[in-house]
Amino acid sequence: MEITMTKVKDKKSIDLDKVEQQSSTDGAKIAIKDVKVWYGDFMAIKGIDMNIKPNTVTAFIGPSGCGKSTFLRLFNRMNDYVDGFKMEGKIKLNGTNIYKKKVNVEELRKEVGMVFQKPNPFPKSIFENVAYGLKIQGIKDKKFINERVEKALKQADLWDEVKDNLKKSALALSGGQQQRLCIARTLAVEPSIILMDEPTSALDPISTAKIEDLIFELKEKYTIVIVTHNMQQASRISDYTAFFYLGELIEFDKTKTIFTNPEKQQTENYITGRFG
């Protein structure tokens, strides 16, 4: 498979690769066009274009407050609840602008799942946690729910550890298990995109390694966008990396390029640890 690059800020290279660029926009899972975000008077995202390809892992890196989490949360409209949130531009998911008035936000979120920074299982049983997304859709078929729960737990590599006590409270699991449970919970709804907001920042190295393996497996079926503070993690698991700074997208390219031969000085400074 040939992978085309999307260098959004670099207008020259876009012109050169115009034909290829066009086709990559068409094939994009998420196409972001000139997106700006404000919280009250503060401009958090200053006009970003980006195309995210299906079945890839895209990592967002950058120092705290650079807007990477805000940007990620645009894809499932999680910022809608934030006071003073205002947004301009287009985000197309499978060709449909998700910020159109008619869009059903609940339906969108079934398509775009999310895993959060801190493991946040509901204070319910393991089974109920995974079944939650199905039950709120009004699904009552027990056999169907059981199958989906088992499948999701298997996909999240947690089934063997919990299959004998699915009735146990999810809060009794370890942090790493809780985070895999949260992934299973997201998978049970069968989204096509999974957003991960620093999913391993609260976990120990072994649990982190398990989640990273998992992300690698999930890529086959899902499009994954992950925000991470850990640059080694970005280089280990992602196909594409985007570097954000002060609300702007500084560089977006294949991960290998970003980490070995970045185009911008700022990117290089950041990944070599000279700032941030």
Partner 1 sequence: MRKIKELVIEKSLLSSALVTIAVTFGIISVLAIEAFRFFSEVSIFDFFTDTQWTPLFTDKHYGILPLLSGTLLTSFIAISVALPVGLTISIYLSEYAPRSFRKTIKPLLELLAAVPTVVYGFFALIVVTPFLQQFIPGLSGFNSLSAGIVMGIMIIPFVSSISEDALHAVPKDLKEASYGMGATKLQTAFKVVVPAASSGIIVSIILAISRAIGETMIVAIAAGQQPRLTLDPTVPVETITAFIVQVSLGDVQHGSIEYRTIFAAGITLFVFTFLLNTLSYRIRKKYQEKYE
Strand partners, 115: 196
Instruction: Confirm or reject binding of residue 84 to partner 1 (CB under 8 A).
Output: no
Amino acid in the structure at residue 89 = G
Assess 81 for contact with partner 1 (CB under 8 A): yes
Token digits for 184?
């299973």
Query: Of the two residues 108 and 145, which places its CB atom closer to partner 1 in the complex?
Result: 108
Determine what percent of the chain falls in helix, strand and coil, rounding each to the nearest 5.
Answer: 40, 25, 35
| Shortest spacing between CB 195 and partner 1, in angstroms | 8
Angle between helices 205-218 and 175-188 (to 10 degrees): 20
Residue with tokens 């499948």: 151
Q: For residue 86, state whether it binds partner 1 (rule: CB under 8 A).
A: no
Two tokens at 21? 């660029």
172 is a contact residue toward partner 1 (CB under 8 A): no
Contact window for partner 1 (CB under 8 A) among 11-19, 84-92, 134-142, 206-214: 134-142
Among 2, 106, 164, 220, binds partner 1 (CB under 8 A): 106
CB of 182 to partner 1, least distance (A): 7
Token pair of 67 as six digits: 């807007």
Nearer to partner 1, 149 or 231 (CB): 149
Alpha-carbon distances of 52 from 33, 114, 121, 123, 237, rounded to whole Å: 12, 16, 28, 34, 15
State how far the Cα of 23 lies from the Cα of 147, in Å rounded to an integer: 38
Least separation, in Å, of the C-beta of 114 and partner 1? 4
* Total binding residues toward partner 1, as defined by CB under 8 A: 27
**In the complex, least distance from residue 212 CB atom to partner 1, rounded to whole angstroms:** 21
67, 133, 176, 247: which one binds partner 1 (CB under 8 A): 133
Residue 155 found at the interface with partner 1 (CB under 8 A): no
Assess 220 for contact with partner 1 (CB under 8 A).
no
At 240, which helix (H) or strand (E)? Answer: strand 240-245
Task: Supply the DSSP symbol for 171.
Answer: G
Judged by beta carbon, residue 195 or residue 234, the one nearer partner 1 is 195
Structure tokens at 97: 């602008």
d(CA 225, CA 248): 17
The footprint of partner 1 (CB under 8 A) covers: 76, 78, 81, 83, 106-110, 113-114, 116, 118, 120-124, 132-133, 135-137, 182, 185-186, 189
